[in-house]
Amino acid sequence: MPPANATQPLVTCSLDGVIGGAAAYRPVEPWERGWGSPLTPVLCSNVRCLACATPVRAVLGHALPEGLWRSIDFAGRLKPIPELLRLVSAPAVRTWMCACRTVSLDAAHPLAHGVLVSPEAGRLRLPWRCAGHLPPPTNATLDGHLLPTDPTAWFAHVDALVLGETPAPTRRRSVHDVSHPAFQLAHRLVHLSDGRLQRALGERVARTWLTALETRPRQVAVDLYRLLPRFFGSEGLAVALAEDAEAFDTRVTAPDGEPLGRRLRLACATQVQRLPDRAMLDAMRQDLSRTPKSRLHGLDYGDSALVDALARLDPDWLRAAGPELAHARRDLPTEVRANLARLHPSPSA
């Protein structure tokens, strides 16, 4: 239940809220808010339509019979409630509806875009927005665990989660899975209203667990910053890549045997593209320069993530590496190929 004091300021989800399919997590509690990027969404649980002023409801595992990404009642002539009776089973889909629009989705859609674009329906105006969330109440629980009320208890709470409150996975598990320890850590930290405590906890993760001797705390710390690239302490990723990448490369993560160094590079690439930073770009250049140039081929997707990020954000690096990169990679993003053509025009151009 929300707190009794309803005069507290509401906090809105990032991206004005995100709606999406069945794979993304939709919070259970009304005070839980969405966070992350469109690729790592937590869906909004309090969406409201600006056109008809009614709440937007969601039906899990069902789709409109006309197909995904279709809007009915776009002109305001049809009523979505009778359409609910005609929904068909679709395990990957959520159908979202207010009093004037109904849409079925199997992928994340940030409401900040204001329009829904699909091959079937074209561009549909979608005037839905996050209506805001109250702060967590006293004695709130997340992921089945009571959130501390004493600020000092948060440090032990975070340590327990990093070190093993959540059992080690017995199967390969995406960092976006709600049962992943990094997801649970991120989900709890974003609901802290004390900014100074958030900073202290983020700095502890970077200072203590990103440099830990054990593999699990390093993995949780790296994956936290993949989910929250701008969270406090994330500057520690650049330090880890510049000074400790080889130590990360000697470790593997259970249960899939993925090199921890790959996870580190993915986190670094995610962070620098969300928040370009010279220290991170320098660390990425240094990391790629210490190993064979065959890494430009991007056979490891951790390497390809670094290469693609540098190619987009560091013209000096692209100018130097460009000819070899163009020869090594046939799958470069269009933007990178355009930059290469500008920096290294062909003689016939």
Domain locations in the chain?
A: 14-130, 137-234, 236-349
| Residues contacting 35, CB < 8 A, separation 6+ | 13, 14, 42, 186, 187, 190, 228
Contact criterion met (CB below 8 Å) for 48 and 56? yes
Asked whether the predicted pLDDT for residue 306 surpasses 60, the reply is: yes
Cα torsion angle, 227, 232, 235, 241, sign:
negative
| Of 71-85, 161-175, 222-236, minimum mean pLDDT range | 71-85
pLDDT tens digits, 94-138: 988 888 788 888 888 899 888 877 655 567 788 999 999 998 888
Pairing of strands 102-105, 71-72: antiparallel
Note the pLDDT tens digit of each residue in 319-335: 888 777 777 676 777 77
pLDDT tens sequence across 188-207: 999 888 889 999 999 999 99
Identity of the residue numbered 14: S
Q: What pLDDT score was predicted for residue 143?
A: 76
Alpha-carbon dihedral 30, 33, 34, 35, rounded to 10 degrees = -160
Query: 221-255: per-residue pLDDT in tens?
Result: 999 998 898 899 999 999 999 988 888 888 887 66
Q: Are 46 and 19 in contact (CB under 8 A)?
A: no
**The pLDDT value given to residue 78:** 45
Query: How confident is the model at residue 239, as a pLDDT?
Result: 93
3-state secondary structure of 202: helix
Residue 71 pLDDT exceeds 50: no
- Residue 349: what pLDDT? 43
pTM of the predicted model as reported, rounded to 2 decimal places = 0.81
Start-to-end Cα distance in the chain = 66
